[in-house]
Amino acid sequence: MIPVYGYEGQNVAVLGLGRSGMATAKALVAGGAEPILWDDSVEARAAAESEGYTLRDLSKHEAFDDIAALIVSPGIPHLYPEPNKIIQAAWTAGVPVDNDIGLFFRSFGQGDWMDHDTPPRVITVTGSNGKSTTSALIHHILTETGTPSQLAGNIGRGVLDIDPPQDGEVVVLELSSYQTELARALTPDIAVFTNLSPDHLDRHAGIGGYFAAKRRLFAEGGPDRAIIGVDEVEGQYMANQLVEGFADDRLIRISSGQKLKGAGWNIYAQKGFLSEWRKGRQAGSIDLREIAGLPGAHNHQNACAAYAACRAIGTAPKLIGAALNSFAGLPHRSQVVGEKDGVRFVNDSKATNVDAAAKALQAFKSIRWIAGGMGKEGGIADLSDHLGAVAKAYLIGFSAKDFALQLGQTPYELCETMAVAVAKAAAEAEAGDTVLLAPAAASFDQYPNFERRGDDFIAEVEAYLA
């Protein structure tokens, strides 16, 4: 646990009692504060009360009279699509609003920090797609090369729930826009921006607000080194803003698909090969084509980002290359479930938006595509240029009929359920095909989350393979 400092003897309100909220309450107690908890859920409140915590309805008049700060769980919208009433009451009362990420950076460098010969460091990863794989890949490389590391944030453990860092340890945090938009302290040593595509637009009042939430990690945090994906204009803009020129090696530019030029520090992947260039000279190269855990150009971008982060802390290219080859991938992200009669089954349930689905569709040559769920604004219209490898689409969920209208000449079948879709795709697939779950939609019409959707796909595939 990372104790929260700065509120000793004071009341601190915590709104939202999920994983991060309860970890925050424990960390506040460890730092000498008195947490005051609230959640709309009766069950969550009862669970907190059973652990001895004090509850207070924060929607009541004068609820913030003796409160030093309000800590909000990331899943609670605070400003858009409309202000949260409790958070607005805190604003009116002049009570600072923060989240667990802000508390982490406020407290991480305290406690036993001065006892370390080599101070621990923090690497953060944000972006629309690939941040989970990139974070896990950085953690994997560090572990494989002998650097103590913990993985937390939007993946793994809550940030305040990690163990006190060892000497020389590197903490890797995956941060979503929900986490970066509200944190009052953002001070990573190294910050990674993978890419940007439309997502969570209601929460951020459009693409500009979404980008602004991501950009806070770099503009307000001021990391010692920034690693920026420059395959979209937002990344190009941010890279330009952060340094005096590309020769300034506080910036590492990364790309998948284009050769990066200039005197600065550039890492890119082309035709399956990763190349590192620094000060106009090649410093490293890795063949990514046969790494089973990193299929497709989108995963090659993830490899570039992870490689850059590890190079930024001094890891040798050869050691990074060896670690990349042992990476097995993450569940629900281009996860190979099995193969039968030359047909491969791949679970990419995490492809919940069009951009992620497009990257998955570009990773394989002949695809039986399972898609659908709770479609997002615009549906799959923007996938029209990425359907060339799709032999047939098998559509499930709430938006199946809407998706069908946007497929053009691509053959499709309305399957409604995962069981029907897998059975149909498996029966019609031929040797060399890939049955790919890449929904391009949220899961909430049929499943509580994308993990459960992926688990259902895996169960149906394993039943077929048995």
pLDDT value for 355: 87
The pLDDT tens digits for 286-309 are 999 888 788 888 889 999 999 999
Alpha-carbon distance of 106 to 188, in angstroms, equals 11
pLDDT value for 285: 94
Alpha-carbon distance of 15 to 191, in angstroms, equals 28
Residues 104-325, CATH architecture? 3-Layer(aba) Sandwich (3.40)
pLDDT value for 113: 62
- Cα 77 to chain centroid distance, Å, stands at 18
pLDDT value for 101: 96
Alpha-carbon distance of 276 to 254, in angstroms, equals 9
Q: pTM to 2 decimals?
A: 0.85
Same fold: 104-325 with 335-465: no
pLDDT value for 114: 64
pLDDT value for 243: 85
Q: Mention every residue, 6+ apart, whose C-beta is less than 8 A from residue 152.
A: 158, 159, 161, 162, 171, 172, 173, 174
Give the helix, strand, coil percentages of the chain, each rounded to 5. Answer: 35, 25, 40
Kindly write down the DSSP assignment for every residue of 164-225, as one continuous string. PPPTT-EEEEE--HHHHTT-S----SEEEE------SHHHHTSHHHHHHHHHHHHHTT--SE
Mean pLDDT by 10 residues, the chain (466 residues): 94 95 96 97 96 96 96 94 95 97 90 77 94 95 96 90 92 96 95 91 93 94 92 95 83 94 92 93 92 85 97 96 90 90 95 90 94 93 95 97 96 97 97 97 95 97 95
Instruction: Name the nearest CA neighbour of 410 among 398, 433, 426, 394.
Output: 394
Alpha-carbon distance of 116 to 337, in angstroms, equals 43
The pLDDT tens digits for 416-451 are 999 999 999 999 999 999 999 999 999 999 999 999
State the binding site: 127-133
State the binding site for ATP: 127-133
Q: What is the CATH number of domain 335-465?
A: 3.90.190.20
Q: What is the CATH number of domain 11-98?
A: 3.40.50.720
Kindly write down the DSSP assignment for every residue of 261-304, as one continuous string. -SSSEEEEEETTEEEEEETTEEEEEEE-TT-TTS-HHHHHHHHH
Domain map (residue ranges) of the chain: 11-98, 104-325, 335-465
Structural element, H or E, at residue 76: none
